[in-house]
Chain A
């Protein structure tokens, strides 16, 4: 893992900072919410206490048998016109109560007046032709009851339009002509049947209520079939539920801004509903938020559970299961949201008692937006700040790591390439001036390389120095021998003298070989460049080699287009001498040595091919180095591995390359020198 990755990982640890902040703000919000719940519960308790044991006008639910239909009078926002149309009723369709198979009706309360809207499907609409005649026609019966005795109100008409209710008796349900002056209605024909919109004072309606439709249909023949479709079953009227005015008066005084107060009875029917929660704001409203906040909303979405929703299902009745707790007599608080993005609504619920008997419950709700405003703002600010700090930190770390790794890599590269291919050593490494540990490292490397360089330098001059130092004692031996030979001596000494002479001669040859490279190096540094004809030099050389090495056959071949190079013909000739000397010493007697000149306009290649033994693979690259020899037997000459070193010296001087290889067919060895032409220079 690179240094940069490591430091990047380290830098990412700072992301814990905004996370911790987020956690903290969340805790804060939870605490604030709990506080809100508590205060809400306290308020609710106070309100409940104000309602306890008051005359609230709430039905005594104990009167209910538990099986009858509950008819809830929905509160109307405005007074509807009695016109047979329901479009001015602000009550949902779902709030209807079915009658038999073909009808449904809505019940509403406005200003202590009950409004009834009946819609009935009837293909054969039949009206009474004239008063007193039968059939009486289609008609609607409203049965009211309760503590007082039952009595029925009949909505009956001879033609669509306004009508008044008349009392009727139970058996015949016939119009009596005895009109109830406080009950009005409107009969309207519809494509499918008819609608009746009617109103009556709340006082006239009892605790119980029933509605029947008398549907008259022509039978086959003269008679009529009368079908009564009723809301009630088994003579059990529906229980009327409505919002008591007394409760409304009391509860209105308890209302507080921003809070919704609801009172329900033990059957969960809403008896009071006042005030409103501040409009639900979407915490992270995409349209009003900037890019960064939207980014945060993705990361830090408040995953509140979708909690209880105090919706009314059916309308007018709260469906919430949690209310069972409060209706069992316990205080309860709850939170709910409608969508995950919306802020939660906090609700508190407290039971209401009358004479130690629970008659209902009070529900107080409040939005938690105020908390969110309190917490979200700092949260966003804190996250922005820490994220910025983290980014700066990470960027800083990465830059620093990049710089560090750059310096280290630069040093590593320099250390790698400090040793040149020819063994030259670059001792000056980059970054030595730095005062830190990397600078120390660079300085150590530089010192080390300096020592190595000195040592290499010493080694490379050693042979020259050694030759020089040995020269004088050898001269002493040689001159002594010279003198000794001139002095009279017994013939028995001659063999020894001969051996001495031979030994000193051999030493001399070794010293010569050792100093030759030094001499060539010196000669190279003093050589002036000239443009010359390489072909002519090689031709002359080959001619000479034929004279000198009579035991080898030489061939010369030139297929180069351009034969002039910039350099020294003398040095090239010396190089050829070394190459040929090498080729001759490795090739068998009477074998052929080929010299080939080939190449392009850009460079020339001199190849010397001999039939000698193959080169060992391992040594091939070092063959041109100083003191490297692959000869496996000592012959009469002295090989210090300097011949090919001289070749490489001269090749380098001509900016060329020297290489050697075995022939593909294994029949010999090729030495190749590639030199740029004069045209290229």
Chain B
């Protein structure tokens, strides 16, 4: 199913890039590696890959990855873009996601987790393009999760969640009322983050829901253990 998909990796650290490419190849993807923004962009203008993994720090350009992401979004709105970077600053993460990236990953992520993400993102694209397929839905009160398309909506309004955010919401909403520790959430999101990062993820998820519904309070904090999803019904019972 993966065969034929072209995954491009833009990374100036050759050894790291080759490792990523090797892992992707093993999964059956066609791969293309670039070191600089220029090389990558000229190649993409000729032929768009199916998914792009970008490092922010590119050879010669400290924020080359951001620029590349912007250019790519101009070329295609649907193209899945993943930032894979050593930068841990929340500011960078927010900037990256605001530029339209589908996910923002730290280089601490294992290859295995990276592959899961790549697959999931490609599956989402597939699901979006083939609308006729029966959607696999998960409904929790006002929340509706489309597991194939990897989309979430609240009170019938689409919430633009990143892949990580979607998985966090999914992990929480799957069993409402059950506490999910940060470790569990990280596992569910196929990502290795420090607890502080989980906290900021949750914060961003809440913010996104709050845009749609100011009263949003479905994610409750259970200290140190983590978070839990509280359905509307639960809230009403309170």
CB–CB B112/A508 < 8 A: no
Cα(A573)–Cα(B202), bound, Å: 15
B237 at the interface (CB under 8 A from A): no
**Contact code string A509-524 (vs B, CB < 8 Å = 1, else 0):** 0011001101110110
Cα(A523)–Cα(B197), bound, Å: 9
A478 at the interface (CB under 8 A from B): yes
Contact residues of A: prevailing secondary structure: helix
Cα(A474)–Cα(B108), bound, Å: 8
CB–CB A468/B88 < 8 A: yes
**Contact code string A469-494 (vs B, CB < 8 Å = 1, else 0):** 10110111011101100100000000
Cα(A576)–Cα(B221), bound, Å: 14
CB–CB B110/A523 < 8 A: no
CB distance from A501 to the nearest CB of B (A): 10
Cα(A472)–Cα(B86), bound, Å: 6
- Cross-interface CB contact of B23 among A483, A512, A519, A520, cutoff 8 Å: A483
- Cross-interface CB contact of B194 among A471, A483, A519, A573, cutoff 8 Å: A519
B214 at the interface (CB under 8 A from A): no
A130 at the interface (CB under 8 A from B): no
**Given A468-B88, A479-B19, A479-B111, A544-B225 contact (CB < 8 Å):** yes
B222 at the interface (CB under 8 A from A): yes
CB–CB A569/B221 < 8 A: yes
A467, A519, A520: residue with the most chain B Cβ atoms closer than 10 Å? A519
Of the four ranges (under 10, 10 to 19, 20 to 34, 35 or more), the interface on chain B belongs to 20 to 34
CB distance from B92 to the nearest CB of A (A): 10
Cα(A479)–Cα(B108), bound, Å: 9
CB–CB A548/B225 < 8 A: yes
A382 at the interface (CB under 8 A from B): no
Cα(A480)–Cα(B199), bound, Å: 30
Residue of B at shortest CB range from A548?
Answer: B224
* CB neighbours of A482 from chain B (8 A): 19, 23, 110-112
* CB neighbours of B222 from chain A (8 A): 540, 544
**Contact code string A248-264 (vs B, CB < 8 Å = 1, else 0):** 00000000000000000
CB–CB B91/A480 < 8 A: no
Cα(A576)–Cα(B88), bound, Å: 23
CB distance from A522 to the nearest CB of B (A): 5
CB–CB A479/B23 < 8 A: yes
Task: Give the A interface residue count (CB, 8 A).
Answer: 39
Cα(A577)–Cα(B181), bound, Å: 13
CB–CB A486/B26 < 8 A: yes
Cα(A483)–Cα(B88), bound, Å: 24
A412 at the interface (CB under 8 A from B): no
CB–CB B22/A471 < 8 A: no
- Cross-interface CB contact of A519 among B86, B108, B197, B225, cutoff 8 Å: B197
CB–CB A519/B90 < 8 A: yes
B87 at the interface (CB under 8 A from A): yes
Cα(A547)–Cα(B181), bound, Å: 11
* CB neighbours of A471 from chain B (8 A): 86, 106-108
B200 at the interface (CB under 8 A from A): yes
Cα(A541)–Cα(B90), bound, Å: 25
* CB neighbours of B91 from chain A (8 A): 522
A471, A479, A547: residue with the most chain B Cβ atoms closer than 10 Å? A479
A545 at the interface (CB under 8 A from B): yes
* CB neighbours of A545 from chain B (8 A): 224
CB–CB A508/B108 < 8 A: yes
CB–CB A475/B88 < 8 A: no
Residue of B at shortest CB range from A538?
Answer: B223
- Cross-interface CB contact of B87 among A468, A540, A548, cutoff 8 Å: A468
- Cross-interface CB contact of A479 among B16, B195, B200, B221, cutoff 8 Å: B16
Cα(A526)–Cα(B200), bound, Å: 10
**Given A512-B194, A519-B196, A573-B223, A478-B86 contact (CB < 8 Å):** no
CB distance from A524 to the nearest CB of B (A): 10
Residue of A at shortest CB range from B86?
Answer: A471
**Contact code string B108-120 (vs A, CB < 8 Å = 1, else 0):** 1011100000000
Residue of B at shortest CB range from A513?
Answer: B194
Q: Which A523-542 residues sit within 8 Å CB-CB of chain B?
A: 523, 526, 537, 540-541
**Contact code string B68-93 (vs A, CB < 8 Å = 1, else 0):** 00000000000000000011111100
* CB neighbours of A577 from chain B (8 A): 195, 223-224
Cα(A570)–Cα(B219), bound, Å: 13
Cα(A577)–Cα(B197), bound, Å: 15
Cα(A547)–Cα(B222), bound, Å: 12
Residue of A at shortest CB range from B88?
Answer: A515
* CB neighbours of B195 from chain A (8 A): 574, 577
* CB neighbours of A522 from chain B (8 A): 89-91
- Cross-interface CB contact of A475 among B86, B87, B90, cutoff 8 Å: B86
Cα(A570)–Cα(B91), bound, Å: 19
Cα(A573)–Cα(B106), bound, Å: 25
Cα(A573)–Cα(B203), bound, Å: 15
**Contact code string A300-333 (vs B, CB < 8 Å = 1, else 0):** 0000000000000000000000000000000000
Cα(A482)–Cα(B197), bound, Å: 24
* CB neighbours of B87 from chain A (8 A): 468
CB distance from B154 to the nearest CB of A (A): 21
Cα(A476)–Cα(B111), bound, Å: 11
Residue of A at shortest CB range from B84?
Answer: A475
CB–CB B224/A544 < 8 A: yes
CB distance from A398 to the nearest CB of B (A): 57
* CB neighbours of A519 from chain B (8 A): 88, 90, 194, 196-197
Cα(A121)–Cα(B15), bound, Å: 151
CB–CB A547/B225 < 8 A: yes
- Cross-interface CB contact of B199 among A468, A518, A543, A574, cutoff 8 Å: A574
B20 at the interface (CB under 8 A from A): yes
Cα(A389)–Cα(B195), bound, Å: 78
Cα(A475)–Cα(B111), bound, Å: 10
- Cross-interface CB contact of A480 among B15, B200, B223, cutoff 8 Å: B15
CB–CB A576/B13 < 8 A: no
**Given A540-B222, A544-B224, A569-B221, A574-B107 contact (CB < 8 Å):** no
* CB neighbours of B110 from chain A (8 A): 478, 482
CB–CB A475/B108 < 8 A: yes
Cα(A516)–Cα(B26), bound, Å: 34
**Given A471-B86, A471-B108, A523-B196, A541-B19 contact (CB < 8 Å):** no
16 contacts between A and B (CB under 8 A): A471-B106, A475-B86, A479-B16, A479-B23, A479-B111, A508-B108, A519-B197, A526-B90, A540-B222, A545-B224, A547-B225, A548-B225, A570-B203, A573-B224, A576-B224, A577-B195
- B residues sitting closer than 8 Å to A (CB atoms) are 13, 15-16, 19-20, 22-23, 26, 86-91, 106-108, 110-112, 194-197, 199-200, 203, 221-225
List 6 extra interface pairs beyond A482-B111, A522-B89, A573-B223, CB under 8 A.
Answer: A471-B86, A475-B86, A475-B108, A482-B23, A570-B199, A577-B195
Top 4 A-B pairs ranked by shortest CB distance?
Answer: A479-B19, A471-B86, A482-B111, A475-B107
